[in-house]
Amino acid sequence: MLKKSLIVLGLLIIIILAFLIVFIPSAILSSTTPKITTVVQEVMKPSYDYLKSTSVYIIGCSGEIDISEKLTYNLDNGGMCWSGTGVIVKMDDNETYVLTNNHVAGKGKDDVILFVENEDRKFRAEVIEYHSKVDIAVIKVDDILTHKAAIKGISSVEIQDSIFIVGNPLGDKMTYTEGVVANFVGINMLIQAPCIYGSSGSGVFNQYGELVGVVYALEIYPGFLNIPEARITHTLVVDSSYVKAFLQELELYNE
């Protein structure tokens, strides 16, 4: 009888020791290891219709060349035509003010003629002001563009914030794209979003439909044989701080 009792006691001790060996370390580990929590949030987006309503297609020609239906994307001293994008910053009863790039507005070129296209009509535009330090300019159309609207406001963004664009890459009108803010380098905002020639001057918007910058270039680095190549994953943007100050100076924007 005593022998059986000792066997049962021994089994109980073995079971208790096994429990301590298996469960106690895992409990200690789980209490000391930081938990990784994944939070999935649905990003609010401005509607395509709103972004499209603020965006315009700009055509420019230089060197005494009239508007051409066959557009190119580089200027030379001989003159040619090009296209780009602009974003409407103010509309009143008889005028529409458009923010774009200096190079889209033809800065430094001779005999520049500018047009803003809307619903298959081309409206003559004039330059109001070029920015002296960054690549933005304001042009004006002496008319109201139907089914168009001015921006809701101007704001700022941070790295990893979502951004949204409607532009005219390579003349493909009112093309939508989206991406994220990648970095701020010097005076530039870098965004990870596909933009190419013709997208210059496009408004960059946050999730609330507020303007946070203006596309102006692709990031360039030396490639094979030092020939410049574009990092098409990163686009350079004029930050909203320059945009706001510029428009306030021209009395085209009030907070």
Mean pLDDT, all residues of the chain: 84
Read off the pLDDT of each residue in 93-110 and give the average, rounded to a whole number.
Answer: 95
Q: Where in the sequence of the chain do the CATH 2.40.10.10 domains occur?
A: 53-141, 162-249
Q: What is the sign, positive or negative, of the torsion defined by CA atoms of 190, 158, 131, 92?
A: positive
In Å, how far are 93, 151, 153, 237, 253 from 124, measured between CA atoms?
A: 17, 21, 26, 26, 23
Predicted local confidence at residue 71, as pLDDT: 52
Q: What gap in Å lies between CA 250 and CA 233, rounded to an integer?
A: 33
Q: Class of 53-141 per CATH?
A: mainly beta
Find the mean pLDDT for residues 107-119. 93
Distance CA 159, CA 180 (A): 7
- Cα(209)–Cα(45) distance, integer angstroms: 8
Determine the average pLDDT of the residues in 225-247.
Answer: 83
Whether the pLDDT of residue 68 is over 60: the answer is no
Q: pLDDT at residue 5 above 80?
A: no
Over residues 200-223, the pLDDT tens digits come to: 999 999 999 999 999 999 876 666
pLDDT of residue 55: 98
Query: Does residue 6 surpass a pLDDT of 90?
Result: no
pTM recorded for the entire structure:
0.78
At 191-206, the pLDDT tens digits run 999 888 899 999 999 9
Q: What is the CATH number of domain 162-249?
A: 2.40.10.10
| Cα 188 to Cα 209: distance, rounded to the nearest angstrom | 21
